[in-house]
Amino acid sequence: MKSKQEIPVAALEAEIVEFLDRMANKPGGKIKKPGCNMIHGKGCALGTCVDNTPRVTPIDLYNDGLTVWIAGEPGGKIANIMRNPKVSVGVYEPVDHSIEQKSLQIFGTAELINAKNNPDEFQQRTRQFGLEDAMEGLFDEYIQGGLIPSEQKEEILKKISKMVNWIKITPQKMILLCMEPGKFPLKKTWEQGHATVQSAGG
């Protein structure tokens, strides 16, 4: 396969969603004992760029269909997004050529959602992705370990909630690389309502 071939958009979207679902964090539900009970996924690399200086951050991801969500506290990635919302995300596993694997590149636009600019959506996503329960369990563990006094828990959690941003990444282009043992990798590209496939060896 030397040239790009059109493939059904819906089929590629479903394949990308299945991959993101498998790689993203999942809520662990209500805590039964101290500690973060988030079901952690594989994580991702978030790329931002300002003044021709790129920055890559390894971080957890969540997804709602094709939309990627990342929880970010104040720092370089948030400052970069405020100045330049164009971002890239890499979602991948350690390469193992003996098994079937996939990796995903996402190019898109980031939007910051927080308790100040959109409190309803911020709370909705915090609950949907299980971050509220995870943070409460984590701070119970800190209390048990003597790191913070129990009476400060609620105050600290409120302060953190005011600091956190949900980074919503709306994709504009996605490249899904599909690798199978003994075969050339297939590059499947989603962009502007079209989907194509091309052999990386073609």
Q: Which domains does the chain have, with CATH numbers?
A: 5-26+39-119+164-199 (2.30.110.10)
| Placement of tokens 């193992």 in the chain | 96
Tell me phi and psi for residue 21, to 5 degrees.
-55, -40
Distance CA 55, CA 62 (A): 20
* pLDDT score at 108: 97
pLDDT the model gives residue 6? 94
Q: How many percent of the chain have pLDDT more than 70?
A: 98
Place of tokens 């790129």: 54
pLDDT, residue 202, reads 57
Query: Can you give the C-alpha Rg of the chain in angstroms?
Result: 19
pLDDT of residue 2: 61
d(CA 105, CA 163): 28
Q: Residue 161: its pLDDT value, please?
A: 84
Percent residues over pLDDT 90 in the chain: 66
pLDDT in tens, 37-51: 899 999 999 999 999
* Residue 128 phi, psi (nearest 5): -55, -45
Q: Among candidates 95, 133, 93, 91, which has minimal Cα distance to 108?
A: 91
Higher pLDDT, residue 192 or 55:
55
Q: What does the pLDDT look like over 112-122, one tens digit per residue? A: 999 999 999 99
Buried b (16+ CB within 10 A) or exposed e, 33-65: ebebbbeebebbebbbeeeeeeeeeeebbbbee
Cβ pair 180, 100 in contact under 8 A: yes
Helices and strands: H and E segment counts in the chain:
5, 10
Q: Is the pLDDT of residue 1 over 60?
A: no
Rounded Cα distance between 175 and 103, Å, is: 8
Q: Residue 68 is encoded by which pair of tokens?
A: 């990627």
Per-chain mean pLDDT for the chain: 92
pTM of the model: 0.91
For residue 16, give every residue at least 6 positions away whose Cβ sits within 8 Å of its Cβ, in sequence order, or none: 66, 104, 174, 176, 190
d(C-alpha 177, C-alpha 196), whole Å: 12
